[in-house]
């Protein structure tokens, strides 16, 4: 099942995707309410063509957005880094969330090295604390596409990652969530990023070092994972920072994150100059 959030009369509603249409659900509340209610999908009302749908972020109020760094061996090699012994964990904040077709925005006086990172995102469906790898899969609600947008000059200049990863709009998610039972083997999906029609990253989730059950179990041993929490599982090789020469996103660019069996997350880029006092 593909389940999406969309705007109807400026309110967030939940619908299911079938072919080229969105079907509103007979449900009052957002996707987190839906996940926690454990209700079945009951469409109600007229369908909406996808090209006329105004998407909301597929999860809009997670308690946590957890990033995992250096989780693809090819990405580690291109950055000349060492393979981590445990998952490398960082945080992004909810202010980073934007939807499919929304703009990624930044102040060019603050950063001029805005990079793309195609990632598989995990959306939690149940509370998980100190869970085993065997228990981890059943705690997942579904999966979506993510772009872990990164201001490299801030990230590398600060020598820690939070500021460069958490500017407003720096976590596009979507276009929808595909529920766990509809994916099959989550560790055999093609993943790519495409900038202005040119493939920049192209890999497969089989190359993740720490697999989804390992990540969920590891994180849950350190802090409670709640329904609606998002885990970004790392990016493969081909990011702009490590290309020769480097390639960064610019005003007017289109960036697409595509994951097999999930969909295509499309965003445009827009600089918004704001004088820094």
pLDDT of residue 277: 78
Query: Rounded to whole angstroms, how far apart are CA atoms 67 and 146?
Result: 11
Q: How confident is the model at residue 231 (pLDDT cuts 50, 70, 90)?
A: very high
Query: Rounded to whole angstroms, how far apart are CA atoms 18 and 27?
Result: 18
Average pLDDT, the chain: 95
* The pTM of the whole model exceeds 0.75: yes
Buried residues in 27-48 as b, exposed as e (16+ CB within 10 A): beebbbbbbeeeeeeeeeeebb
Return the domain boundaries, the chain: 1-56, 57-271
Q: What percent of the chain has pLDDT over 90?
A: 90
- Torsion angles phi and psi, residue 39, rounded to 5: -85, 160
Of 190 and 38, the one with more pLDDT: 190
Res. 265: pLDDT tops 90:
yes
pLDDT by residue (tens digit) across 139-191?
999 999 999 999 999 999 998 899 999 999 999 999 999 999 999 999 999 99
pLDDT by residue (tens digit) across 88-136?
999 999 999 999 999 999 999 999 999 999 999 999 999 999 999 999 9
Alpha carbon 78 to chain centroid, angstroms: 22
Decide if domain 57-271 falls under CATH 3.90.850.10: yes
pLDDT of residue 39: 72
* pLDDT, average across residues 36-51: 86
Alpha carbon 118 to chain centroid, angstroms: 8
Residue 211: CB atoms within 10 A of its CB come to: 17
* pLDDT, average across residues 2-8: 96
Architecture of domain 1-56: Roll (2.30)
**Tokens 């072919």 sit on residue:** 19
């Amino acid at each position: 099942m593909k389940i999406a959030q969309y705007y109807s009369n400026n309110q967030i509603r939940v619908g299911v995707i079938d072919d080229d249409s969105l079907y509103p659900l007979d449900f009052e509340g957002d996707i987190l309410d839906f996940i926690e209610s454990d209700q079945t999908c009951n469409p109600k009302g007229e369908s909406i063509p996808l090209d006329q749908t105004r998407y909301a972020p597929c999860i809009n109020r997670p308690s946590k957005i957890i990033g995992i760094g250096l989780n693809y061996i090819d990405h580690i090699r291109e950055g000349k880094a060492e393979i981590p012994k445990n998952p490398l964990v960082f945080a992004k904040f909810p202010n980073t969330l934007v939807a499919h077709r929304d703009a990624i925005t930044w102040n060019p006086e603050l950063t001029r090295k805005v990079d793309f990172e195609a990632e598989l995102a995990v959306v939690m469906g149940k509370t998980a604390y100190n869970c085993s790898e065997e228990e981890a899969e059943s705690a997942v609600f579904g999966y979506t596409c993510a772009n872990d947008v990164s201001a490299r000059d801030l990230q590398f200049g600060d020598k820690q990652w939070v500021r460069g990863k958490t500017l407003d709009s720096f976590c596009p998610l979507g276009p929808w969530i595909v529920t766990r039972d509809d994916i099959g083997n989550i560790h055999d999906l093609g993943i790519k990023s495409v900038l202005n029609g040119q493939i920049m990253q192209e890999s497969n989730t089989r190359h993740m070092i720490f697999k989804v059950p390992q990540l969920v179990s590891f994180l849950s041993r350190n802090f409670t994972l709640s329904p609606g929490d998002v885990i970004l599982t790392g990016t493969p090789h081909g990011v702009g920072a490590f290309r020769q020469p480097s390639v960064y996103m610019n005003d007017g660019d289109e960036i697409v994150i595509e994951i097999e069996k999930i969909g295509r997350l499309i965003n445009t880029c827009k600089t918004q100059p704001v004088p820094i006092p």
